[in-house]
Amino acid sequence: MTTITLSWGDRPIALETVDGRTFLRIGAALRVDVTDASLDQLDRLADVATDLAEMQRDRYRAADVADQVAAEDGVKFVGAPFQRKPVAA
């Protein structure tokens, strides 16, 4: 089995139909043919998307708590300093 990692951020997610086939389009680089997917598989996909959204909400809540604690302590920025590395010309 080959694993493909794709980061799409806030790029569009949509259904599209081409020549009678239905695809789940994720960003510009990924198109998944779902024409023959069973209802069980599509329900599972919806469940996984719901789980993923809840995980992201938990991450946001945790970050908010850290920001609130930092603000109470008078800290304006929480994070690791970032230093740019030289680039080859």
More confident position, 60 or 77: 60
Residue-level pLDDT at 29: 82
The CA-CA-CA angle for residues 45, 47, 50, to 5°, reads: 110
Given this model, what pLDDT does residue 35 score? 94
Average pLDDT, integer, range 3-32: 87
| 84 confidence band (pLDDT: 50, 70, 90) | low
Report yes or no: 65 and 57 within 8 Å, Cβ to Cβ.
no
Nearest residue to 16 via CA among 5, 25, 3? 25
Q: What is the pLDDT of residues 22-73, one digit of tens each?
A: 999 988 888 899 999 999 999 999 999 999 999 989 888 887 777 777 777 7
pTM of the model: 0.60
